[in-house]
Structure 1
Amino acid sequence: MVGLYQLSEEHEALREAVRALAEKEIAPHAAEVDEQERYPVEARDALARSGFNAVHVPEEYDGQGADAVAACIVIEEVARVDASASLIPAVNKLGTQPILLSGSEEVKKLVLPSIASGEASASYALSEREAGSDTASMRTRALRDGDTWVLNGTKAWITNAGESTWYTVMAVTDPNAEKKANGISAFAVHKDDPGFTVGPKERKLGIKGSPTCEIYLENCVIPAERIIGAPGTGLKTALRTLDHTRPTIGAQAVGIAQGALDASLAYVKDRKQFGQRIADFQGVQFMLADMGMKIEAARHLVYTSAAASERGDKRAGFIASAAKTYASDIAMEVTTDAVQLFGGAGYTKDFPVERMMRDAKITQIYEGTNQIQRMVMARALLKG
């Protein structure tokens, strides 16, 4: 039966287009981007030129209006050659999803068209040094002052900070709220707003082409209408956002794992030991089979998760956590096995698998550690 449980022709055509772009415009720079710890400007420009930098933006805001599965395919195919570059479309979605979910028409029109065109990009500022998984304990404050809000605080671990134009910032607006979570609001902050500065880059294990910094808000003044949703609804919006964006981290993880498997297949077919290709040894074949099987399972879970978030499925939160957790665990496992298959060569920077192994690790940590994801899943199961 045609069309029975398969991606549409449009989705497959999108994959082909993004893969061709990634191979030609992004892959050649990936090792240098990692080595020099520099922003992948070639990837940024190529994605913007082709309209793949933020495919999720709706058509009414000059975007492509692509569905959640399409957004995952873009991220997966870019991550297959360079995980750092895949954070351009991924974080554009993360930074703008709160606006799509809760923003006023005014905020949507202000921010989204520039993201869609590639003229601007977005980041997401939820975490703080002392409020990581425990987001409700954040200390950043926003005080209403006439027709402005004044923000004070420091946000940590902000992906693409310094490169992004817009920042979706969560801040406490009612420190006396009975439930801390109900005292937090979301705001659209622009890099040129007075009192906004970006800190130095973190020195990281992987995704070195994507800057991660603190952002400082020191009496940062923004217009009152740049609040996202009603006061006190910011954390609810932030958590709803993650149901939509955790699948994109799963997609990034699948892409990294697929890139490592592709590199491994080429290597084992070429490398000879004991008079034969190492691809002909059963032990190697079993490793490859397990890698391929697990990637395929992770990919289906990610797409199922993206589709659930798109249609508002009541199980979307559980499936998003499952997809992010499973895919990231598999990415770590597959990239570790890839390094093993390359032997001593895999431990050197002459081949991409050591970079992929370093890049894979973060997928188990950001957008909620996999331990937090297991708590989210267990709660969902116990609630029934």
Structure 2
Amino acid sequence: MPVWSQAGLTDEQIAIEEMAAAFARAELAPLAPVWDRDKIFPVETLRAAAALGMAAIYVREEMGGAGLSRVDAALIFEALATGCPAIAAYLSIHNMCGWMIDAYGSAEQQRRWLRGLGAMETLTSYCLTEPGCGSDAAALRTKAVRRGDAYSLSGEKQFISGAGAGGDAHLYIVMARTGEPGPRGISAFLVEGAAPGLTLGANERKMGWNAQPTRSVTFDDCRVPAANLLGREGDGFKIAMAALDGGRLNIGACSLGGGRRALEAALDYTRQRQAFGRPLLEFQALQFRLADMATELEAARALLWRAAAALDSRHADATRLCAMAKRIATDTGFSVVDDALQLFGGYGYLADYGVEKLLRDLRVHRILEGTNEIMRLIVARDLLEERNA
């Protein structure tokens, strides 16, 4: 039996989760330490995941996607992260980009890109953050100026996951300013990797997520056809925020997956390791800690699934619930991994046992897709607006 509860899931959802977990065990976990050590981005492994429908999870079936729900996606990303949180997280971003095109793209944009994204023949990156504005996304400075049948983009994006991995076939969804200051002046663009004027920075040296590249992306009079405008001018901030609701659930699920893997490892270790003549698992203090780890993961998972269901049904509280779920899931996942490392003692600090990699990979989840401080701000503002209505 799994260390987590499958209560409330349909037979189909259990099968979906078990498929993703089997892929994680067979294709991700054995090589994840090597990818992390050597900074290898396993494109062919990602394409194998795509062949199972995991690169276009909630893109419509008629557009080459799996047509699954956000709850289904949460199950998949949690399961994948038990094998490698860094690769699961990149798949999360890739899926978010595909959803943006499916939800807001023109028929021609959908026809041109979605099937390639679903097969991971084209890789994607989400370009919102800039060197001078992270949490304050509405203050972005990258500009897009209309010149005839094209836009000229100028500016720089920072911390772009997966950037450059697809070469000329890479697709960037870029938020740029076309109008007035603030959110209403932002538009979204589909920028191809071969676009003249697009250059990439060096692969960043990071604490974790070493299995996927992270680079700056610079646009210097980068020509983008007007047909590559996603939605209408001024829709970019709305599109970006709508995408982040789902992205927050995905990264929360990845954190739960890392925590789940750490709990499984801790259970195995405390059963085998002895101290004072008996297995660690027989010490009540350690039993209590393991019980708390499992309970906290279940509680965070329940809120995540509730938020996913709210997003699927377009409930008015969806954004608040997604922010709550992202905050609690990423904090909990990291805390559980930290507790597991403590249970391992000195061995937890060694790369051979895998727990320290989980800790390094999960730490950034509390920052990206909106920091956990911003999640608190979203929740508080929503509560106060509701109270004052």
TM-score between the two structures when normalised by the length of structure 1 = 0.96
Offset of residue 43 of structure 1: 3.0
Offset of residue 5 of structure 1: 7.2
Alpha-carbon separation, structure 1, partners of 2:213 and 2:117: 18
Find the partner of 1:183 among 171, 185, 195. 185
**1:173 alignment counterpart:** 178
Give yes or no for contact 1:136–1:180 (8 Å, CA) kept in 2.
yes
Q: Are 1:27 and 2:29 an aligned pair?
A: yes
Offset of residue 38 of structure 1: 1.6
Q: Counterpart amino acid of 2:84?
A: D
Offset of residue 51 of structure 1: 2.4
Alpha-carbon separation, structure 2, partners of 1:54 and 1:298: 25
* C-alpha RMSD of the superposition: 1.4
Find the partner of 1:372 among 371, 374, 380. 374
**2:278 alignment counterpart:** 276
Alpha-carbon separation, structure 2, partners of 1:269 and 1:40: 34
Comparing 370-379 with 116-125, greater Cα deviation is found at 116-125
1:252-300 per-residue CA deviation (whole Å, 9 max, x = no partner) reads 1100100110111111001011111000100110110000000111111
Find the partner of 2:240 among 230, 238, 242. 238
1:206-231 per-residue CA deviation (whole Å, 9 max, x = no partner) reads 11111111011111111111101110
Aligned pair count reads 378
**2:3 alignment counterpart:** none
Alpha-carbon separation, structure 1, partners of 2:358 and 2:209: 9
Offset of residue 45 of structure 1: 3.2
Q: Are 1:135 and 2:137 an aligned pair?
A: yes
Give yes or no for contact 2:58–2:99 (8 Å, CA) kept in 1.
no
Alpha-carbon separation, structure 1, partners of 2:289 and 2:42: 32
Q: Counterpart amino acid of 1:100?
A: D
Give yes or no for contact 1:96–1:168 (8 Å, CA) kept in 2.
no
Alpha-carbon separation, structure 1, partners of 2:114 and 2:247: 17
Give yes or no for contact 2:266–2:344 (8 Å, CA) kept in 1.
yes
1:137-165 per-residue CA deviation (whole Å, 9 max, x = no partner) reads 11111111111111111100111111141
What does 1:217-256 correspond to in 2, within 5 Å?
217-256=219-258
Comparing 268-277 with 39-48, greater Cα deviation is found at 39-48
Alpha-carbon separation, structure 1, partners of 2:34 and 2:82: 16
Provide the identity percentage.
Answer: 38
**2:214 alignment counterpart:** 212
Give yes or no for contact 2:144–2:151 (8 Å, CA) kept in 1.
yes
Alpha-carbon separation, structure 1, partners of 2:353 and 2:55: 27
Q: Counterpart amino acid of 1:47?
A: A
Offset of residue 88 of structure 1: 3.2
Runs of 4+ deviating beyond 3 Å: none
**1:69 alignment counterpart:** 71
Q: Are 1:149 and 2:177 an aligned pair?
A: no
Give yes or no for contact 2:323–2:378 (8 Å, CA) kept in 1.
yes
Comparing 343-352 with 105-114, greater Cα deviation is found at 105-114
Alpha-carbon separation, structure 1, partners of 2:58 and 2:172: 17
TM-score between the two structures when normalised by the length of structure 2 = 0.94
Find the partner of 1:119 among 110, 116, 121. 121
Alpha-carbon separation, structure 2, partners of 1:331 and 1:274: 30
**2:354 alignment counterpart:** 352
**2:342 alignment counterpart:** 340
Give yes or no for contact 1:167–1:191 (8 Å, CA) kept in 2.
yes
Give yes or no for contact 1:173–1:183 (8 Å, CA) kept in 2.
yes
Q: What are the ranges of 5 or more consecutive residues in structure 2 without an aligned counterpart?
A: 1-5
Offset of residue 196 of structure 1: 1.5
Offset of residue 54 of structure 1: 2.5
Alpha-carbon separation, structure 1, partners of 2:122 and 2:43: 13
SS in 1 for 2:51: helix
Offset of residue 352 of structure 1: 0.8
**1:196 alignment counterpart:** 198
**1:313 alignment counterpart:** 315
1:192-215 per-residue CA deviation (whole Å, 9 max, x = no partner) reads 112122211111111111111101
SS in 1 for 2:216: strand
Q: Counterpart amino acid of 2:385?
A: K
SS in 1 for 2:220: strand
Alpha-carbon separation, structure 2, partners of 1:379 and 1:267: 44
SS in 2 for 1:350: helix
Alpha-carbon separation, structure 2, partners of 1:129 and 1:322: 27
Q: Counterpart amino acid of 1:250?
A: G
Q: Are 1:330 and 2:332 an aligned pair?
A: yes
